[in-house]
Amino acid sequence: MPPRRDDDKFIAVDDSDSDISVDDDADPGLSKNPKSKGKASDSRRKRDKGKGKAKDTQAYTWEASYTRSWETVQEDEAGSLQAAVDDWMARGRRRRLLAPSTAIRRTIIRHVVLLLDLSAAMMDRDMRPTRFDLMLQYSREFIAEWFDQNPLGQIGIVGMRAGIGERIGEMSGNPQEVLKHIADRHKLEPTGEPSLQNAIEMARSSMSHLPTHSSREIIIVFGSLTTCDPGNIHDTLDSCVKAKIRISVVALAAEMKICRSLCEKTGGQFGVALNEGHFHDLLFELIPPPAQQASLNRLGSAPNSRAPNSSADLMLMGFPTRLPDTAPPGLCVCHSEIKSEGFLCPRCLAKVCDVPTDCDVCGLMIVSSPHLARSYHHLFPVKAYDAVLTEDQISSNAPKVCHACSRPFPTQTATHTSEGLSPYGRYRCPDCQNDFCSECDVFVHEVVHCCPGCGK
């Protein structure tokens, strides 16, 4: 053995000193302790080995979605699983297109307050890596996608921790500013117990000055099973009903009666996340604007009461003039900084950095025409394409390529199809009767929002 160092001095250690051998002729009293120690260590090793086996048999929560997944796929004639995987993915994409495509009255100017649970319960590891980290990740993706589909809306962020409501970010229409508020993880470290009442009251007070033509929504991501409230939370619920605030809750632990009551009485949505994928789906279902007709019918407290039909109001908007980088520098009214590029308010000629926003000088709502066009598709969605299920629906002169991407349709017919999937890979527009592939079908309904064949 190498020499051992002790107080800057080397002490030689012989290898024979570390090995102890006991002869049969030695004193039995001396050999009793090593034997008993060996037996104890062997029994301890067996117990540890048994614990290790029991621990290995326990599956993690994030592995539950892959349990026995090989039973849900089938091989094709060549022994490949690619066709089954493609069919599995296409089925999920087609399921999102089964929503009604009729024109529904919706509110395109939305104001949302995102309530995040920052209590100690969010540090549980039943969702990988923790509930808190997964919530932050999905919240960033949600904010980016929400502003992409609702460019005229604004989002504010409120946290719930230590029994109080903490304002993390003010209401803003700039996605970069909203994402900056939840970028630093250490400032949002979970602690204490949440308080639904304090957080809802803070969100309600921040939306009390909003006009009537815009929607008021509260989205709660709740992972605790308790709430520490200073008063009666049902009084807060009644005040939200009177203020026409819609509350939606995505629970990560279990269903709570108060959470379901908040959603039912205000016309929101409630769901309990089963795993990471389900949590993502529940959160992203809140991105499209809610139907205004349904929300008005649910606000009445009496079952037979009917809410008054709100008439269409005219809104005053301004389309700004964009300044290039070569423009002379000027002071912006939003940040009080000298910048060259920006937008000029058409009423008071004040410079703002980004649109859409409200002018800080005259209060005019400043938007751009592309923002209005992107919000318009929620009011008149693209009709769902019809799946070509039989060969009789394909005429002799039908094109063999997709009308949008010009990619040829598959020559082999799929043997296992379900849930509205076309075995020929063709999806036909009911208006222009053009055939599209599955990828273009999803791309038209989720990104373009306009049929390339008929322009509707």
Backbone angles phi, psi at 116, to 5 degrees: -105, 130
The overall average pLDDT reported for the chain is 79
Side-chain-side CA neighbours of 370 within 13 Å: the count stands at 2
Residue with tokens 């049902």: 234
pLDDT at position 419 is 61
Which positions ≥6 away from 75 have C-beta within 8 Å? 81, 84
The pLDDT assigned to 236 comes to 95
Q: What is the pLDDT of residues 362-411, one digit of tens each?
A: 988 888 888 887 777 777 788 888 888 888 888 888 888 999 999 999 88
Decide: 158 and 150 in contact? Cβ < 8 Å: no
342-344 β-sheet, strand order: 321-323, 342-344, 351-352
- Ordered alpha helix ranges (H), 174-267: 175-181, 196-206, 233-242, 257-266
Q: Is the pLDDT of residue 285 over 80?
A: yes
pLDDT in tens, 29-40: 444 444 444 545
pLDDT value, residue 420: 67
Contacts by 274-277, CB closer than 8 A, 24 or more apart: 275/61, 275/62, 275/64, 275/65, 275/127, 276/62, 276/65, 276/127, 276/128, 276/134, 277/65
pLDDT digits (tens, 9 = 90+) for 108-138: 889 999 999 999 999 999 998 999 999 999 9
Question: Given a cut of 50, is residue 103 above it in pLDDT?
Answer: yes
Q: Is the pLDDT of residue 283 over 80?
A: yes
Structure tokens at 127: 């969702």
| Band (24; pLDDT cuts 50, 70, 90) | very low
* Bridge partners (DSSP) listed for residue 115: 158, 220
Distance of alpha carbon 138 from alpha carbon 130, whole angstroms = 12
438 close to 90: Cβ distance less than 8 angstroms:
yes
Q: 365-366 and 386-387: which strand pairing?
A: unpaired
Give 154-196 pLDDT, tens digit per residue: 999 999 999 999 999 998 888 888 999 999 999 999 999 999 9
For residue 73, the model assigns a pLDDT of 55
Contact assessment for residue 437 and residue 407, using Cβ atoms and an 8 Å cutoff? yes
| Cα–Cα distance, 254 to 274 (Å, whole number) | 9
